[in-house]
Structure 1
Amino acid sequence: MTNSNNIKKISGILFGKKTSLVFFAGFLMANLFYFITNFFDFFLNKGNNADEDYQNTLYSLSDFSWHKFFYTQSQPFVFISSVVDGFLKAPKYSVRLVSLLLCAGMLAIFVKKINAIHGTLLEKIYRNALFLCAVLITSQMYMGTSDFLGYCFLVPPFLMILQSIHSGKINLTTKQSILIGLLFALSIATRPTAMMLIAFFYFTILLVLGIKSIFYKQNFTVLFAGIIAFFLINLLPIVQEQRVVLDVKEIPKATGVDWFQRNYLMAKFWDSGQIPRNQWLTTQDVIDYKTENPSFIFPKNYIDLLIKEPALYCRQMFRMVAGGMYTSFRFMLMLFPILFLCFVSNKRFGNLSYINQNNPDEVTRNKIIIVFHLLSIIFFSFIAIKMLEFRWIVPIMILYAYYSVIYLSKFPEKFRYVVYTVSFACGILLYYPTIIKML
């Protein structure tokens, strides 16, 4: 009994409210240092960040034409950025400001939702801190790219569909279905990667809810509304040139190089250690390699690569899947593994099985989020070849973190504070090497 009491006292001290406050203070300071440093490094960067090129496609509203609107890649993002730049007169910072404002708006909505969950003021602060830091650590809000606008068009429809699920069925109104179709169309026009996430989402719905769920009337309304909206966004190119305009980076055909070859060679060099993993090959590097190795035959496509070099493909996939899982924990901390508890239904687990059995719709949503997240990591790893870019699945992570916060609120207080404290402690430890590099 004495040992048992001692263990309880020690655990009470380690995972109590007072201890959680100490770890939270450290966690908050580490995050603030990271976010502020990245603000200066990325948002105020006088050069370009990663894929930033949209500042070169902005147009003056005084010289606006429908041709410019329809034929510009990522029409929604460029239009909004052009409006902002009409006031700011600084294209590079206009596109970045759009991302920052969109992020602030989305987070404000989720903070309001999280604050609506029952709990003490301290717990609300902890929940918001974990959720906000999971999103802000991506630093996407500092980038002048179309990513965050794409998130803003994708997250709401996914959330609407998930929230409509009751008794294993999707229950959307006609107005909601039309709105979802419109948002899906805007997300694809903004960032074509959205097409894959939408496909993964409905494939997950099929796996979790069954094949009948795909043939609900609401899904067809979403499809038709989306097609019509996407047609209108691309009206001029479709009518004049029978094509659609998508935000897709292309390598000129005259170079004789395509993205598959470039990504394959990069993966091959990374795998063999010929170049460091933070170094990317240019199109000219691939041209030079072809010139120096005229007898080398590149794989034709993914299947050809899988057949000819299965070991390379599998190693790369394993690295990307493992990296995706690590990054998920790195960003969401204990909010990542906590959601997996929704799969437990055995009565031997007492309170846990009771929580799951008494919240069937919530458990269904959690399962969809988990499967959606894992499938996306696996599929993107399969087609990426070189590296999984976590920004592709940030919309899922936003929903994942949100539903984890909701799910955690169902557990006893002691357990919740264990999760908070461990999350803050892990956050500090994982930030340590990053901060050392920054100093």
Structure 2
Amino acid sequence: MTTPDIDTITDVTVLSEGNWHAGMDVHLSDGRISAVVPAGQLPHGPRVLEGPGGHLTPGLVNTHTHLFQAGLRGIGEGLPLLAWLSAVGEEAALLTPERAYATAAAAAAEALRSGTTTLVEHMWPHPSSEVHDAVLRALRDSGVRALLCRGVADRADRGRKWGFDPRLMQPLKEALAHTDELIAAARGSRVGIGVAVPNPRCLTPEGMATVRDYADERGLSVSLHLLETTTDDAMCRAHAGVGAVDYLERAGFLWERLLAVHCVELDAAGRATLARTGVGISYNPLSNMRLGSGIAPVPDMLAAGLRVGLGVDGAASNDTQDMLEALRIGAYLQRAAHRKADLLGFPEMFELATNGANQVLGLEERPDGIQVGMQADLVLHRFEKDYACLPVRDPGATLLTCASNRTVAVVMVGGEVLMRDGEHVRLPSAELAAGLGFTAA
């Protein structure tokens, strides 16, 4: 059962074109914004969300997560990336459709609670098609807008030196055939389908050509972990004689629908190559901090013309799905690294978090905040719900520096209210908690 769509949000302060506009009514129709006008200028519809005192923004776009890791919080704490990957791989090999559904539903609900209305799920390859099907069902049940990237590979890491467990292999032809089934199953929902590749070494050159042709023919995006540490470069140099970016470029695997995730070790030459080929970036500050991977050179990426979005990564390396936390720490981390207090303020970080990589991902672009015609994926903040956010001198500064899921009053996707005061209206907290009970064993 779904909540009826909202017709009008009344007398609210709206973020639009970089400014906050008080006393506005926002009218919705067929899941989109039909008008933004001074309060009372147009008749209200029958289903009203009272907005006085609230601040309305577009929803956040989480450009990278692994939903199944909601069952792996705290795993491998203190381990470096490759050892951590081995621990996570052991759990991934044991993943069942039931666990895949429970973790995906819980992670999607948690993401919504911090104002995320769109998420990009980078699935690890898995030989069970039922596991992937279960994640799609969970996303549809949660109501979140999502891009579900189905994991594929054609070369396993049999020596366990670069992080892809052989037990997760599935013939590439079978994996892509099942991706077609997912596309059909998702049609008409809020979930789109893409392809996910664990890292550059997981595909042979022939495999890259196959995946690129497949994605191009269907207009799909591809998500790829790239240069989270120096391992990608080291492995590509050892086996192909070139670094990871050159390896991908030689195979024709850099293009405008590829999302490169992390890119902590992306140098100036690599940034120029990715910018020239139209590749997008997913910046995951908390995960990179947790695993000791380093700091992605985001200011340099933006200066090179790269499109950069914000991500939280999976709960095994971040431990939450909180985009507001990633928004704040993503800015603070760069300020500390560059010793510049005015680096990546609210306008820049909010652009990353709502629109930075949307074009690469095939998502609706929304560079100017709330505007007529856009999807009604909206977040209503009530800063008075948390005295630690008061007084509000500048709503943007408040959102960046001290807002949290405690201030998120309502989250809607396509005009449908999915979250009220921290509770998912479709998926009760008790059911979500019960679904994660297996992790205590």
Fold shared per TM-score above 0.5: no
Structure 1 or 2, whichever has the larger Rg, is 1
More strand per residue: 1 or 2? 2
User: What TM-score results when the alignment is normalised by the length of structure 1?
Assistant: 0.25
Q: TM-score, normalised by structure 2?
A: 0.25
